Amino acid sequence: MSVHKENKEFKKITTHALLAMKQRGEKISMLTAYDFSMATILDDAGIDVLLVGDSASHVMAGHETTLPITLDQMIYHAASVIRAVKRSLVVVDLPFGSYQGNSKEALNSAIRIMKEAGAHSIKLEGGEEVVDSVKRIISSGVPVMGHLGLTPQSIYKFGTYTVRAKEDEEAEQLVKNAHLLQEAGCFAIVLEKIPAALGKRVADELKIPVIGIGAGGGVDGQVLVMHDMLGINKEFNPRFLRRYLNMYEQILEATKQYISDVKSRDFPNESEQY
């Protein structure tokens, strides 16, 4: 695996830096993070964007969907990540129920995330139905990232986690929504689990960066859930996922060894005590 050097060029990643990367054809790297220790490592590695995703509801809290996580819980995770970060741009998801009511509610939730966690920007799911909220949040000075395609907060409407926008009608609606979000002022858009050709079309048509998860290689950047990419989860195996470690097995084996060392009185040895 070759490691790119160019991703250290910016001292601090801003929304403008992401736009510059798109303009010069440099792909944007993005991963999720939810806690101080992991965010420290990912930031030190040179990741461009850290997303405090509401996927925390799955991987940190063990819920089946992203719906139960609360604004207070997202703020707790975001503040932990922010304390770790020196370079990456931190984007924080507005959780389900914190913005769908109206644009004032959306603005208040975004402000809480910025004020209480010290976040750099927020992300929310949806197209034309959230455009008023996007505009109102941006007019207060908060950068907004959009999210189209598979939007997990609407899982009970979709019914399944399968690929979205395979049919023309849904694909055209997605393209229209992507343009609306760009016009509303979003600095970037995430596209989740859609055909690669559609991902490329949206990235080609939009001026702002388009970051994909399961949206193919034609978009401007890639995002993965950190637990999936590091192999901390073993049950989740979608086609788009590349695992870079098998941490489930490594942690399992290390823990078994520790248990065995404690039981056998091997740990602690003479040099491990006072």
Question: According to the binding rule CB under 6 A, does residue 93 interact with ligand KIV?
Answer: yes
Q: Does residue 213 bind ligand KIV (CB under 6 A)? A: yes
Q: How far is the CB of 80 from ligand KIV (least distance, A)?
A: 16
| Catalytic option among 129, 169, 192, 253 | 192
Whose Cβ is closer to ligand KIV: residue 49's or residue 131's? 49
Binding mask 46-85 for ligand KIV (x = CB under 6 A): -----x-xxx------------------------------
Closest residue to ligand KIV in the complex (CB): 53
Q: Note if 253 is an active site residue.
A: no
Q: Give the contact letters, 15-44, x = binds to ligand KIV (CB under 6 A), - = no.
A: -----------------x------------
Count of chain residues binding ligand KIV (CB under 6 A): 11
Q: Give the chain as a 3 state SS string.
A: CCCCCHHHCCCCCCHHHHHHHHHHCCCEEEEECCCHHHHHHHHHHCCCEEEECCCHHHHCCCCCCCCCCCHHHHHHHHHHHHHHCCCCEEEEECCCCCCCCCHHHHHHHHHHHHHHHCCCEEECCECHHHHHHHHHHHHCCCCEEEEEECCHHHHHHHCCCCCCCCCHHHHHHHHHHHHHHHHHCCCEEEEECCCHHHHHHHHHHCCCCEEEECCCCCCCEEEECHHHHCCCCCCCCCCCCCCCCCHHHHHHHHHHHHHHHHHCCCCCCHHHCC
Q: Is 223 in the site for ligand KIV (CB under 6 A)?
A: yes
Q: Where on the chain is the footprint of ligand KIV (CB under 6 A)?
A: 32, 51, 53-55, 93, 190, 192, 213, 223, 225
Active-site residues: which are they? 192
